[in-house]
Structure 1
Amino acid sequence: MNYVNEVRSIAREIFISDIHGQFEAFTSLLAKLDYQPAEDVLYLLGDYIDRGPQSNEVIEYLLELKETAGSNITFLKGNHEAMMLDAFENEDKSNVGLWFENGGRETIKSYIGDDLISSPFDEIEHAIRRDYPDHLEFIKNLQLYEETTDHILVHAGIDPFLENWKQASEHTFVWTRSPFLESNHAAGKTVVFGHTPTLTLHEDASVWFQSDKIGIDGGAGFQKQLNALIYEDEAYSTVSVPVEVG
Structure 2
Amino acid sequence: MKYINEVRSIAREIFISDIHGQCEAFTSLLTKLDYDPAEDILYLLGDYIDRGPQSYDVIDYLLELKDKAGPRITFLKGNHEAMMLHAFQNEEDSDVSLWMQNGGKEALRSYVGDDLISSPFDEIQHVIRRDYPDHLDFIQNLQLYEETKDHILVHAGIDPSLDNWKEASAETFVWMRSPFLETNHSTGKTVIFGHTPTLTLHQDSSVWFQSDKIGIDGGAGFQKQLNALIYENAEYSTVSVPIEA
In the TM superposition, 1:146-157 aligns within 5 A as: 146-157=146-157
CA deviation profile, 1:20-69 (whole Å, cap 9, x unmatched): 00000000000000000000000000000000000000000000000000
Indicate the RMSD between aligned Cα atoms, in angstroms: 1.0
1:120 aligns with 2:144: no
TM-score, length basis structure 1:
0.95
Q: Which structure shows the higher helix fraction?
A: 2
Q: Distance in 1 between matches of 2:15 and 2:64?
A: 18
* SS of equivalent residue, structure 1 residue 102: helix
Q: Distance in 2 between matches of 1:166 and 1:116?
A: 41
Q: Distance in 2 between matches of 1:131 and 1:55?
A: 15
Q: Distance in 1 between matches of 2:103 and 2:166?
A: 29
Q: Distance in 2 between matches of 1:185 and 1:93?
A: 38
Unmatched 5+ stretches in structure 1:
1-9
Provide the identity percentage: 81
TM-score, length basis structure 2:
0.95
Shift of 1:90: 1.1
Partner of 1:131: 131
Q: Distance in 2 between matches of 1:94 and 1:203?
A: 35
CA deviation profile, 1:1-20 (whole Å, cap 9, x unmatched): xxxxxxxxx52000000000
Partner of 2:194: 194
Contact 2:91–2:122 (Cα < 8 Å) also in 1 = no
Shift of 1:118: 1.1
Partner of 2:4: none
Unmatched 5+ stretches in structure 2:
1-9
Partner of 1:79: 79
Q: Distance in 1 between matches of 2:77 and 2:93?
A: 21
- How many correspondences in the alignment? 237
Q: Distance in 1 between matches of 2:122 and 2:210?
A: 45
1:221 aligns with 2:221: yes
1:42 aligns with 2:42: yes
Shift of 1:210: 0.1
Contact 2:229–2:238 (Cα < 8 Å) also in 1 = yes
Partner of 1:68: 68
Partner of 1:5: none
Shift of 1:91: 4.8
